[in-house]
Amino acid sequence: MSSTDVRDSAPGADPRPADRPGALAAAVDAAVATVRRNAAAFGALYPDSTTRDDRYPLRPATDRFAEGANRDWTTSFWPGMQWRAVELTGDADLRAAALAHAADFARRVHAGEDLDTHDLGFLYTLSCVDAWRLAGDEAARDAALAAADHLMTRFLPSAGIIQAWGDLSDPAQRGRTIVDSLMNMPLLTWATQVTGDPRYADVVARHVVQVRTHLLRDDDSTFHTFYWDPETGEPLRGGTEQGAGDDSCWARGQAWGIFGFALHHRTSGDPESLRASERCAEYFLAHLPADGVPFWDLVYSDGADAPRDSSSGAIAACGLLELASVSTDADRAARYAAAARRMVADLIAGYTPAAPEDADALLLHSVYDAPKNKGVDEGCLWGDYYYLEALTRLTLPGWVSPWWPAAAAVPTRLTLTAGTTATDTDGGTA
């Protein structure tokens, strides 16, 4: 149990009611306060992917990178939090901080630093596409397009997939993708809409079909990983890197499925992706414990001695709100939106610090990689980001998502008046 936790029992047993009047506004205030404090503490540097005892250390140095350097797949969640806080408050200091990070991401892509990953969509949507659409930063736009071009080099025509992480000159790294990849596709869809070049969207369409066909199982659960023969494109087998087993259902992967398939339906109109998102959602909701926040793998249920993963709950809440906003069935849309609101309320009540200063993380009790005992029962950058995105979706009517390429293709300007809602965008939200 984390040192700042006010509970003496299991996660979810917090006595603070989440549905009290003003709970959502109070949660936003607490989250923004933490983002501001962390921004002042880290400056131009980057926190590590997960906390240690509820505090974010600097990203560790390696033989190639200094301490706090912009490397690995999670650094963009940090400026992403800053952009969401700017939209919520109009904070000019956080806008300046996020723009400085966008410049560093531009440097990273043009220098070719640590780009051997499909997670360029995460990295450049939340750093540079956001800087372009919210501040009109042309250099950030160019950097995001450069990242999209680099992501295209990971496309394997024989299998019709964007390959996951690793140096593709190494045969062992070729021929695989993971369910997380769905959340990296909006960068390529955005690139088609910005440039008019259909190549990017064509690759997205092929990739999503393969993920839908091979990673979504008949029982509506998902594989984390799937492998193809890189020469022939023959589908080989499903497996896992971070789940409890090859045939279990890793909670974060299932949450990515809800969100990623819904986003693809929004931009493509593909009814099969809508159905895939619904299938992922139904399985996820049916395998939640009583307090509404998942264990790290959905093979576990109430009474299990296994860690929770609040980050999966935050991702799923965003995905359910996205799914609700594109659903063609009013009753289903209402049910998904209500489930997302309950999940956010459960996160607020049982998985946040008692006071913002008690932790650097917005959200406690996440899991990075349980099989490797990495980041277990800690905060994490993506959990914090998606929790704040969920709060933003529920707080700002008409909020426009960075994952919607059509909305992000043309920049919109924020009104920066500290302490007020800072958005003059049009659009819908659940």
Catalytic (active-site) positions: 119, 180
Which tokens sit at 200?
């990017």
- What span, in angstroms and rounded, lies between the C-alpha atoms of 168 and 396? 42
**Cβ–Cβ < 8 Å for 363, 382:** no
- Measure the CA angle with vertex 366, ends 361 and 370; round to 5°: 140
**Cβ–Cβ < 8 Å for 297, 243:** yes
CA distances from 74 to 46, 79, 108, 118, 288 (A): 10, 10, 14, 12, 26
Instruction: Please name the residues in contact with 42: beta carbons below 8 A apart, sequence gap of 6 or more.
Output: 56, 58, 68, 78
Report which residue type is found at 294.
Answer: P
Which tokens sit at 169?
């000159």
- What span, in angstroms and rounded, lies between the C-alpha atoms of 279 and 185? 20
Burial 156-171 (b: 16+ CB within 10 A, else e): beebbbbbbbeebeee
- What span, in angstroms and rounded, lies between the C-alpha atoms of 430 and 416? 25
- What span, in angstroms and rounded, lies between the C-alpha atoms of 118 and 234? 21
177 DSSP β-pair partners: 226
3-state DSSP assignment of residue 19: coil
Q: What residue spans of 2-91 are helical by DSSP H?
A: 23-42, 77-89
Q: Is the dihedral of CA 313, 345, 381, 161 positive or negative?
A: positive
CA atoms within 13 A on the CB side of 198: 4
